[in-house]
Chain A
Amino acid sequence: MAVARILDLHLHLMDRQVEDRDHRLVCKVDDLELEFDGLGRPYVIAILVGPRAVGPRLGGRLGRWFAAIAARLATPAELLVPRIDFAEVTDIGSAITIARRADELRVAPLEAWVDRHIIDRIPGSTHEGE
Chain B
Amino acid sequence: MKRLLAVALGILTAIGGFVDIGDLVTNGLVGSRFGLSLAWATIVGVVGICLFAEMSGRVAAVTGRGTFDLVRERLGPRFGLANLIASFLVTVLTFTAEVGGIALSIELATSVNYLLWVPIAGLAVWLIIWRVKFSMLENVFGLLGLALVVFSIAVWKLNPSWTDLIHQIALPHKPDKEGLLSYFYYAIALFGAAMTPYEVFFFSSGGVEEHWSKQDISTSRINVFIGFPLGGLLSLSIAAGAALVLLPRNIQVDSLAGVGLPVAVAAGKLGLAVAILGFVAATFGAALETGLSCGYTISQYFGWQWGKYVRPRQAARFHLVVLLSVIIAVGGVLTTVNPITVTEYSVVFSAVALPLTYFPILVICNDPDYMQDKVNGRMSNLLGTIFLILVLIAAAAAIPLMLLTKAGQ
Taking a contact as CB atoms under 8 Å apart, the answer to whether A24 and B305 are in contact is yes
Contact of A16 with B73 at beta-carbon distance under 8 Å, contacts A94-B64, A111-B304, A130-B133 already known: yes
Taking a contact as CB atoms under 8 Å apart, the answer to whether B302 and A28 are in contact is yes
Closest to B370 in A: A94
B133 to chain A minimum Cβ distance, whole angstroms, is 6
Whole-angstrom distance between the alpha carbons of A12 and B216 in the complex?
A: 26
Taking a contact as CB atoms under 8 Å apart, the answer to whether A114 and B317 are in contact is yes
Taking a contact as CB atoms under 8 Å apart, the answer to whether A95 and B308 are in contact is no
B306 contacts partner chain A, Cβ-Cβ < 8 Å: yes
Most chain A Cβ neighbours within 10 Å, of B78, B133, B301, B370: B78
Taking a contact as CB atoms under 8 Å apart, the answer to whether B69 and A54 are in contact is no
Residues in B neighbouring A41, C-beta threshold 8 A: none
Which of A11, A24, A27, A127 has a CB less than 8 Å from the CB of B312?
A: A127
Residues in A neighbouring B76, C-beta threshold 8 A: 15
Kindly identify, within residues 370 to 395 of chain B, every residue whose CB is under 8 Å from any CB belonging to chain A: 370
B81 contacts partner chain A, Cβ-Cβ < 8 Å: yes
User: Main SS of chain B's interface residues?
Assistant: helix
B120-140 vs A, Cβ < 8 Å mask (1 yes, 0 no): 000000000011011100000
B209 contacts partner chain A, Cβ-Cβ < 8 Å: yes
Kindly identify, within residues 70 to 97 of chain B, every residue whose CB is under 8 Å from any CB belonging to chain A: 72-73, 76-78, 80-81
Residues in B neighbouring A124, C-beta threshold 8 A: 130-131, 312
Q: Count of chain A residues with Cβ under 8 Å from any Cβ of B?
A: 38
A46 contacts partner chain B, Cβ-Cβ < 8 Å: no
Whole-angstrom distance between the alpha carbons of A12 and B369 in the complex?
A: 9
Taking a contact as CB atoms under 8 Å apart, the answer to whether B316 and A115 are in contact is yes
Residues in B neighbouring A94, C-beta threshold 8 A: 62-65, 370
Taking a contact as CB atoms under 8 Å apart, the answer to whether A28 and B309 are in contact is no
B303 to chain A minimum Cβ distance, whole angstroms, is 3
Taking a contact as CB atoms under 8 Å apart, the answer to whether B134 and A110 are in contact is no
A28-58 vs B, Cβ < 8 Å mask (1 yes, 0 no): 1010000000000000000000000010011
Whole-angstrom distance between the alpha carbons of A24 and B310 in the complex?
A: 9
Whole-angstrom distance between the alpha carbons of A62 and B78 in the complex?
A: 10
Whole-angstrom distance between the alpha carbons of A125 and B314 in the complex?
A: 9
Most chain A Cβ neighbours within 10 Å, of B72, B131, B316: B316
Kindly identify, within residues 278 to 330 of chain B, every residue whose CB is under 8 Å from any CB belonging to chain A: 301-314, 316-317, 319-320, 323
Whole-angstrom distance between the alpha carbons of A59 and B81 in the complex?
A: 11
A91 to chain B minimum Cβ distance, whole angstroms, is 13
Q: Count of chain B residues with Cβ under 8 Å from any Cβ of A?
A: 39
Residues in A neighbouring B302, C-beta threshold 8 A: 27-28
Residues in B neighbouring A114, C-beta threshold 8 A: 316-317, 320
Whole-angstrom distance between the alpha carbons of A77 and B131 in the complex?
A: 36
Taking a contact as CB atoms under 8 Å apart, the answer to whether B316 and A28 are in contact is no
A118 to chain B minimum Cβ distance, whole angstroms, is 6
Which of B77, B303, B309 has a CB less than 8 Å from the CB of A57?
A: B77
Contact of A130 with B304 at beta-carbon distance under 8 Å, contacts A15-B77, A58-B81 already known: no
A126 contacts partner chain B, Cβ-Cβ < 8 Å: yes
Taking a contact as CB atoms under 8 Å apart, the answer to whether A25 and B306 are in contact is yes
Taking a contact as CB atoms under 8 Å apart, the answer to whether A119 and B319 are in contact is yes
Whole-angstrom distance between the alpha carbons of A11 and B367 in the complex?
A: 11
Residues in B neighbouring A26, C-beta threshold 8 A: 303, 305
Taking a contact as CB atoms under 8 Å apart, the answer to whether A125 and B304 are in contact is no
Whole-angstrom distance between the alpha carbons of A72 and B308 in the complex?
A: 32
Whole-angstrom distance between the alpha carbons of A111 and B76 in the complex?
A: 23
Taking a contact as CB atoms under 8 Å apart, the answer to whether B305 and A102 are in contact is yes
Residues in A neighbouring B308, C-beta threshold 8 A: 129-130
Subset of 7 A-B contacts with CB under 8 Å: A12-B369, A16-B73, A28-B303, A30-B77, A58-B81, A111-B316, A129-B308
Chain A to chain B: the 7 pairs with minimum beta-carbon distance, closest first: A28-B303, A115-B316, A94-B63, A129-B310, A119-B316, A114-B316, A25-B305
Write the residues of chain B forming the contact surface with A, with a CB cutoff of 8 angstroms.
62-65, 69, 72-73, 76-78, 80-81, 130-131, 133-135, 209, 301-314, 316-317, 319-320, 323, 369-370
* 15 further interface pairs, Cβ-Cβ under 8 Å (given A24-B305, A24-B310): A11-B369, A17-B303, A24-B314, A25-B306, A54-B77, A59-B78, A94-B63, A94-B370, A114-B317, A118-B320, A118-B323, A119-B313, A119-B316, A122-B312, A129-B307
